[in-house]
Amino acid sequence: MSILNILRYPDPRLHKIAKPVNAFDARLAKLVDDMAETMYEAPGVGLAATQVDVHEQVIVIDVTETKEGLTAFINPEIIWTSEDRQVYDEGCLSVPGVYDGVERPSRVKVRAFDVKGEQFELEADGLLAVCIQHEMDHLVGKVFVEYLSPLKRNRIKTKMIKEERGIARDKALQGRRY
């Protein structure tokens, strides 16, 4: 397994729309394993393939404390949402250190395939429902900050760009020999 590079907002690749998975093979299984390892290492509770620059409809989620509840959702589709909504403070591995309230349906039902190509349905509420919706947004090129006001979004974008410049500068300085 490998740790994958997570794209950081506002990287334009985060806005690419993912294509459906057609082959349930060893390559897909390795991608899911690598994504899970990357998510746990980050640490996070969900990761979409889009975030690691693979534009296929694949997400991994584990909202358990024990890290024993990993679920892979291949070609997921939400087939039902509740009318009642909730605001949840969301964060994102592609927008590190930023959390803000996003309103979403409080319960969802999702249909997807597992890594072996077996179809399943899952009804979720609470953090799992939020996570499913958040990660599925990535598959259509949407980052959670797009639910925020333009002012907040621009502040976050500026912050992320400044941080990225600082990281690049630090890496360049580390490469110098004195």
Residue set of the binding site for Fe cation:
92, 134, 138
Residue 164 Rama label (left phi>0; alpha psi -120 to 50; beta): alpha
Burial 73-91 (b: 16+ CB within 10 A, else e): bbbbebeebeeeebebebe
Q: What is the CA radius of gyration of the chain?
A: 17
Asked about 135 being catalytic, the answer comes back as yes
Residue 110: CB atoms within 10 A of its CB come to 23
C-alpha to C-alpha distance for 70 and 68, rounded to whole angstroms: 6
What is the pairing mode between strands 58-61 and 107-113?
unpaired
CA distance 117 to 158: 41
Catalytic residue among 77, 103, 135, 163: 135
Active-site residue set? 135
